[in-house]
């Protein structure tokens, strides 16, 4: 029997036309009523009218046009409530975003048309819909009309049998708390399972409002941002790799272009176990590694005296486990992984080399001017006062236990030691190398003649910079694989 054209068909046709037709006349400028933005993120243009008395907030910074995300809040609040954790995450993932106030699905469709009007905002043609709670069905239904690369839902309120196919090439991510009495998680999961390209993440013990989820469940943030980035390469900022004590530990990552999988280098800054962060001390290494086909990960870790050296070692182990567990996100080969440190973190990575653990194995270790004998360091007057910061109960036995020079084994992964000859730690490195040789451990020593402590002070001295080429070659020889050691910048 021929299908009769009814109200539902007319409704869908209107939505399709609203999303597909752009204005023939030039777009008007995006006027706004709130010159201070949304008070939540710098650079936001606030309260832009798009239909009658309805407004949206827009974040589309200058520079290269960004993919766009349209945020549809749930039944409670408005465009500046309940969805606010998404704003910084979207910026971190390289997106422009638009948070919309609305009354009906037709309003959201009009907001999308308004946003997409050519030249109005600095965005690309790549767009994603994000819906929370009652906004999730709207996002999913609009996505069925085509024109979107992806759709994300949080705590989707769906009815059984609501599933509709998404167009080919449209990806979906559904994040669902399992403890919301008003939402049936199994319906959302069945919906996702019925889609050709959908990832489902259940968050046990939480409701639909992700704004109030416990930090123990914040792993969804990294799943969300990795999903948004898709195959995008280059620099990724502020990835949370662990939550010791409920506080996030961050890393930055660089992913090279090309098919991969790439060898990876995890880097820990120095600073006497008490100072520094993921953007200090190691900056001279970032470009040579990136240009020669290595993915790298520069990490924060907890610092003394708030924690002790054993805790710092656990943070480095957590970083290794995280990178290995998410190798597909980062396009790396988890069997070709190195860890690198300098000064105090040179001590940490050398200690890790001696004491492997399940799930945090590495295939190479690089230590710049590390501390290998804590007993010797503790005997130096200017350092003795700091020993109580490093261990809860320092003793000669504890200092020996955490000194790499006393933990050498021929089963250690290959080590590369890089040392300036005018560094106070020079003699300690020579002694450590001699003991590695005696134990038949695999190692190489690169001496930088006349160089002081700290690779940042080596910059500007051409006679000291050959260590970069030699380090890249050593890593390439040990880790191997396509692209490693080859300049990919051309």
Contact 334, 262 (CB under 8 A): no
Sequence-separated (6 or more) residues with CB below 8 Å from residue 391 = 308, 309, 310, 398, 399, 402
Residue for token digits 């009523």? 33
The region of weakest confidence among 95-104, 217-226, 365-374, 481-490 is 481-490
Lookup result for tokens 């907001």: 111
Domains of the chain in sequence order: 7-228 (3.40.50.1820), 233-479 (3.40.50.1820)
* Cα 325 from Cα 343, distance rounded (Å): 28
The packing angle between helices 7-20 and 135-144, to 10°, is: 80
Q: Are the C-beta atoms of 56 and 50 separated by less than 8 Å?
A: yes
- Tally Cβ neighbours within 10 Å of residue 168: 8
Per-residue pLDDT at 342: 98
More confident residue, 38 or 364: 364
How far, in Å, CA of 341 to CA of 282, rounded? Answer: 9
pLDDT tens digit string along 270-292? Answer: 999 999 999 999 999 999 999 99
Confidence of residue 487 (pLDDT cuts 50, 70, 90): confident
Average pLDDT over residues 392-408: 95
Pair 343, 368: CB distance under 8 Å:
yes
pLDDT at 482: 63
Average pLDDT, stretch 85-111? Answer: 97
User: For residues 40 and 412, what is the distance between their CA atoms, to the nearest angstrom?
Assistant: 49
Tokens of 445: 């020593």
Q: What is the pTM of this model?
A: 0.88
DSSP for residue 74: -
Residues 472 and 485 sit within 8 Å (Cβ to Cβ): yes
Taking Cα atoms as reference points, which of 124, 122, 123, 118 lies closest to residue 27? Answer: 118
Residue 458 scores a pLDDT above 60: yes
pLDDT tier at 33, thresholds 50, 70, 90: confident
Inform me whether the pLDDT recorded for 357 exceeds 60.
yes
What number is the average pLDDT over the span 344-364? 95
**What pLDDT does 137 receive?**
95
Q: What pLDDT score does 424 carry?
A: 96
In this predicted structure, which of 178-187, 190-199, 353-362 has the lowest mean pLDDT? Answer: 178-187
Q: What is the mean pLDDT of residues 378-401?
A: 92
User: In whole angstroms, what is the distance from residue 65 CA to residue 123 CA?
Assistant: 4
Q: For 48, which DSSP code?
A: E
- Secondary structure (DSSP) of 7-42: HHHHHHHHHHHHHHPPPSSPPPP---SBTTTTSSST
Average pLDDT (366-370) is 98
Predicted confidence at residue 164, as pLDDT, reads 79
326-345 residue pLDDT tens: 999 999 999 999 999 999 99
* Strand ranges across the sheet with 364-368: 234-242, 249-255, 295-299, 262-268, 332-342, 364-368, 415-420, 443-448
Sheet with 66-72: list strands edge to edge: 45-51, 54-59, 96-100, 66-72, 123-132, 150-154, 171-177, 198-203
The per-residue pLDDT of the chain, averaged, comes to 91
Question: Would you state the pLDDT for residue 31?
Answer: 72
DSSP-based three-state secondary structure for 245: helix
Q: Where are the strands (E) in 112-219, listed by range?
A: 123-132, 150-154, 171-177, 198-203
pLDDT digits (tens, 9 = 90+) for 210-259: 999 998 899 999 999 999 998 889 999 999 999 998 899 999 999 999 99
pLDDT digits (tens, 9 = 90+) for 292-337: 999 999 999 999 999 999 999 999 999 999 999 999 999 999 999 9
SS3 sequence, 87-105? Answer: HHHHHHCCCEEEEECCCCH
CB 71 within 8 A of CB 97: yes
The model's confidence at residue 480, banded by pLDDT at 50, 70 and 90, is confident
Peptide bond into 118 cis (omega under 30): no
Over the stretch 118-140, which tens digit does the pLDDT of each residue have? 999 999 999 999 999 999 999 99
Peptide bond preceding 180 in cis form (omega within 30 of 0) = no
């Amino acid at each position: 029997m021929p299908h009769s054209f009814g109200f539902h068909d007319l409704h869908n046709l209107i939505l399709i036309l609203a999303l597909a037709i752009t204005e023939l006349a030039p777009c008007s400028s995006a006027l706004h009523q709130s010159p201070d933005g949304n008070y939540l993120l710098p650079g936001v243009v606030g309260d832009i009218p798009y239909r009658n008395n309805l407004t949206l907030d827009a974040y589309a910074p200058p520079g290269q046009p960004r993919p766009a995300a349209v945020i549809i809040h749930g039944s409670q609040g408005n465009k500046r409530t309940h969805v606010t954790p998404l704003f910084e995450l979207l910026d971190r993932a390289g997106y422009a975003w638009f948070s919309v106030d609305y009354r009906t699905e037709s309003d959201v469709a009009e907001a999308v048309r308004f946003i997409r009007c050519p030249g109005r905002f600095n965005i690309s043609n790549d767009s994603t819909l994000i819906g929370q709670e009652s906004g999730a069905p709207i996002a999913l239904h609009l996505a069925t009309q085509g024109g979107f690369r992806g759709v994300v839902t949080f705590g989707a309120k769906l009815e059984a049998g609501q599933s509709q196919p998404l167009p080919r090439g449209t990806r979906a991510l559904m994040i669902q708390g399992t403890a919301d009495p008003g939402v049936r998680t199994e319906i959302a999961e069945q919906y996702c399972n019925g889609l050709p390209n959908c990832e489902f993440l259940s968050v046990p013990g939480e409701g639909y409002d992700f704004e109030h989820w416990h930090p123990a469940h914040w792993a969804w943030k990294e799943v969300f941002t990795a999903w948004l980035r898709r195959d995008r390469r280059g620099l990724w900022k502020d990835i949370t790799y662990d939550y010791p004590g409920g506080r996030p530990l961050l890393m930055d990552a660089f992913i090279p272009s090309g098919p991969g999988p790439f060898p990876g280098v995890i880097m820990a800054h120095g600073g006497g176990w008490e100072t520094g962060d993921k953007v200090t001390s190691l900056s001279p290494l970032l470009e040579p590694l990136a240009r020669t086909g290595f993915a790298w990960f520069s990490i924060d870790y907890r610092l003394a005296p708030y924690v002790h050296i054993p805790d710092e070692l656990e943070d480095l182990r957590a970083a290794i486990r995280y990178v290995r567990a998410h190798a597909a996100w980062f396009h790396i080969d988890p069997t070709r992984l190195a860890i690198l440190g300098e000064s105090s973190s040179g001590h940490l990575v050398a200690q890790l080399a001696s004491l492997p653990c399940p799930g945090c194995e590495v295939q190479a270790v690089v230590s710049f001017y590390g501390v290998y004998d804590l007993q010797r360091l503790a005997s130096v007057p200017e350092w003795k006062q700091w020993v109580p910061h490093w261990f809860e109960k320092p003793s000669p036995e504890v200092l020996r236990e955490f000194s790499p020079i006393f933990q050498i084994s021929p089963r250690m992964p290959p080590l590369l030691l890089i040392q300036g000859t005018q560094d106070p730690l020079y003699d300690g490195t020579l002694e450590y190398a001699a003991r590695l040789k005696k134990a038949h451990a695999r190692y190489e020593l690169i001496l930088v003649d006349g160089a002081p402590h700290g690779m940042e002070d080596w910059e500007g001295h051409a006679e000291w910079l050959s260590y970069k080429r030699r380090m890249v070659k050593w890593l390439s020889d040990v880790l191997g694989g396509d692209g490693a050691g080859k300049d990919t910048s051309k």
